[in-house]
Homo-oligomer: A and B are copies of this chain.
């Protein structure tokens, strides 16, 4: 049985394995620095569909299928699917999984969803013998932009703090203790709102939540930044990442070169016009599944603290003058599968 430590942290007892993973992205993500890492790159941003929303569902299916394929897993062998996305009523996930027989737990954590779904999949895999649990999420630039900001055709100008919603998806399948990567501990975050009201400055809205969750994770597990090869947030972008570094510096903690952000890794900010960096559920999902998990599996990375961050923003509430709450969840993914005490 997993062990509840305190303040959102759970230590895995059986230390479940990430038995497979898959990623799928759009053309622009395929042209970025990680382009060669992804399992599936589409030249067609509509993914063969006639609306952006259906395109996102199709994109998500590609990531799910790639994960099944890599692990030689039949769709019917998946016990539970934990999935969510940015669209109203999480339709990216609901339409992607409808009528396929998957036992479905819908999540909403904005861009924190990859970590949220991984936390749920980890607890289920650790506690329920014989289960295979999929954690799945996606985002699509066009469906997200028109829902949260302006339709593409409007040609609205983007301020420097704005981030670029990735057209991307990732799927992780968590099962019994077997081989690396392993999930060792998770920390579920709390909703923190520091009063940011600018829908074009998500990084600033999310950074305090990322700080709180990572700090709590360190405290509850008795670890420090030095215990990780990589502390990876997704997706604070340039603005949020700098704030996070500053918040830790105020505690005398230097994150240094072991820290990176998925939003800064997915795109080349000098060549690609993404302003403060990438964002969207699919950004951290695709970077994790395309670029990180393979390196943990091979032993190149030993300990990664993956912390996806979400801005729980609603256009309705922002129009009502409300500020934007943020949340972040941490997952410690390790090459080492030693079972905890």
Contacts and interface: CB of A to CB of B under 8 A. Distances in A.
B108 A116 contact: no
A132 B171 CA distance: 30
23 contacts: A1-B1, A7-B103, A8-B103, A53-B320, A80-B188, A84-B108, A88-B314, A89-B312, A90-B108, A95-B317, A98-B192, A99-B193, A100-B190, A101-B190, A102-B190, A103-B190, A105-B109, A105-B116, A106-B107, A106-B109, A106-B327, A123-B123, A123-B124
A127 interface: yes
Contacts of A313: 89
Tell me how many chains of this kind the complex includes: 2
A199 to B, nearest CB: 12
Interface string A110-136: 100000100110011011111100000
Given A2-B127, A106-B108, A106-B312, 20 more contacts: A4-B79, A4-B128, A4-B131, A53-B314, A54-B322, A84-B108, A88-B315, A89-B312, A97-B191, A99-B192, A99-B193, A99-B325, A104-B188, A105-B109, A105-B188, A106-B107, A106-B109, A106-B327, A107-B107, A147-B316
A97 B104 CA distance: 24
A28 interface: no
A101 B7 CA distance: 9
A1 to B, nearest CB: 5
B317 A1 contact: no
A3 interface: yes
Contact of A193 (B98, B126, B188): B98
A142 interface: no
Interface of A: 1-4, 7-8, 10, 51, 53-54, 79-80, 84, 87-91, 94-95, 97-110, 116, 119-120, 123-124, 126-131, 147, 188-193, 312-317, 320, 322, 325, 327
A42 B127 CA distance: 41
A51 B102 CA distance: 38
Contact of A316 (B91, B98, B102, B105): B91
A10 to B, nearest CB: 6
B99 A4 contact: no
